[in-house]
A = this chain, B = another copy of it.
Amino acid sequence: MRAERLLARMAPADVAVLLPELASDELRTVIELLFRQRRAARALRELPHEMLPQVFDALADQRLADVIGRLEIDDLLELVEWIPEERREFVVSKLPEHRRAELDKAELYPEDSAGRVMTTNFVALDLKMTAQEAIDALRSKADDSDEVLYLYVVDDQRALAGVVPIRRLLSAPPERCVADMMIPDPVSVGAEDDQEEVARVVRRFDLLAIPVTDVDGRMLGLITVDDVIDVITEEATEDIYHLAGLTEADRVFVTARESVMKRLPWMLLNLGTAFAAAWVVGLFERTLQQVVALAIFMPVVAGMGGNGGTQALTVITRAIALGEIEFSSGFRAAMKELSVGLTIGIIVGGIGAGISYFWQGNPILGVSLFFAMVLTLSVAGLLGAAVPLGLKALKLDPALGSGVIVTTFTDTFAFFSFLGIATLLMDRMIA
């Protein structure tokens, strides 16, 4: 019984941390205890999705259905997708009839849309109700959720007409009509809208919850800010991951085998582009034979170009994600990155050229390094801005793919400009 008391005191997120550490039978016992405390569903919700199959494995179909059946529809939908396919249908069939119906409906919304993140558990008031009637409606609602924040007012067609913050209800005279105390035309999102758009609206208007409507303006559900926080966190992870060529599911707790399978395509793609750069270097084999020292400085030009490109890419990708690009324009941003690259290229290229000249005593080397760095860093800045903006214009993910395009191009360009300039200078000196 001590375990039971201990579990009761722990936050669901802390319980979640514990679960994957347990053996199958322990896991079953803990879930059983949590279930009796009505907290099993919350704990599962807090578990990173990639760890769910392991926990599901330890539970019988009926018990699993009992546990997830207590979740709100958006969480239920998410967890069901992580049940191994061969069991899924069977587990779902053990859910209560009305939950199955809800699930069927929610599954019709596109992936990552507002319809899939919303809860259908909200309080709707009639336009003609008084404050007292509204309070009675709220009281009569069986669900004891403490987190009702806003009451939504709908008209005869169930179209969203306004919102009454719960605090206003508390201070209003009982006979006051809700139509007179509501904030009319509240901000809302469509059920088909992307969850990223939802997060942007919630952040922009500092909302705690946002109503979701259908094409006719009828209220379908509600997205609360805790789900929005999950969306924001998820999207940030996605951006960080995409910049490094990683897929979202490649997390710290998945097996090495899974990580290898997920990273391999990207690494093979990179191998291809690396060989393209190597092919460019191969074009200048004769030049390299004459001045082997050029090989020493090749990595310097390419490395600096790569850094410059990544910086421009990161600034622009983040600006797109946060909607900050509105404060500037795409063209202005690209021109700025070009001039930043040019300036840094002149400074860093100058220093690099100086060092290499004093080290190797070869003026061709110094001059080639200088011009190659100026050109490469300018191109890196321009591309670092232009590629994500271009991908965005094509309605593609600006973070995904930008990295490989920009670095391939800067690497190839770095080698081509450095060895090309050196070849030209040498031909001149020989002629």
Contacting residue for A281 out of B187, B282, B295, B326, CB 8 A: B295
Interface residues as binary, A306-322 with B (CB distance below 8 Å gives 1, 0 otherwise)? 11101101111111001
Which interface residue of A148, A206, A245, A267 has the most chain B CB atoms within 10 A?
A206
A178 at the interface (CB under 8 A from B): no
Interface residues as binary, A246-288 with B (CB distance below 8 Å gives 1, 0 otherwise)? 1000111101100110011011101100110110011001001
A138 at the interface (CB under 8 A from B): yes
Q: Are B288 and A295 neighbours in the complex by a CB distance under 8 Å?
A: yes
Interface residues as binary, A5-35 with B (CB distance below 8 Å gives 1, 0 otherwise)? 0000001011001001000000000000000
List residues of chain B with CB within 8 A of the CB of A424.
none
- 5 residue pairs A–B, Cβ–Cβ below 8 Å: A138-B170, A244-B313, A245-B307, A274-B352, A299-B299
Q: Are B307 and A267 neighbours in the complex by a CB distance under 8 Å?
A: yes
Q: Are B308 and A267 neighbours in the complex by a CB distance under 8 Å?
A: yes
A147 at the interface (CB under 8 A from B): yes
Q: Interface size bucket, A side?
A: 35 or more
* Given contacts A336-B259, A339-B256, A138 and B167 within 8 Å (CB-CB): yes
A296 at the interface (CB under 8 A from B): yes
Q: Are A138 and B252 neighbours in the complex by a CB distance under 8 Å?
A: no
List residues of chain B with CB within 8 A of the CB of A169.
170
**Number of copies of chain A assembled together:** 2
Q: Are A250 and B315 neighbours in the complex by a CB distance under 8 Å?
A: yes
Q: Are B296 and A278 neighbours in the complex by a CB distance under 8 Å?
A: yes
Complex alpha-carbon distance, A266 and B253, angstroms: 32
Q: Are A296 and B282 neighbours in the complex by a CB distance under 8 Å?
A: yes
Q: Are A319 and B271 neighbours in the complex by a CB distance under 8 Å?
A: no
Complex alpha-carbon distance, A296 and B294, angstroms: 11
List residues of chain B with CB within 8 A of the CB of A328.
252-253
List residues of chain B with CB within 8 A of the CB of A67.
none
Residues of A211-239 at the interface with B, using a CB-CB cut-off of 8 Å, are 225-226, 228-229, 232-233, 236-237, 239
Complex alpha-carbon distance, A170 and B170, angstroms: 7
Q: Are A285 and B293 neighbours in the complex by a CB distance under 8 Å?
A: yes
Complex alpha-carbon distance, A326 and B251, angstroms: 12
Complex alpha-carbon distance, A146 and B186, angstroms: 14
Q: Are A256 and B146 neighbours in the complex by a CB distance under 8 Å?
A: no
A379 at the interface (CB under 8 A from B): no
Q: Are A343 and B260 neighbours in the complex by a CB distance under 8 Å?
A: yes
Contacting residue for A277 out of B208, B299, B336, CB 8 A: B299
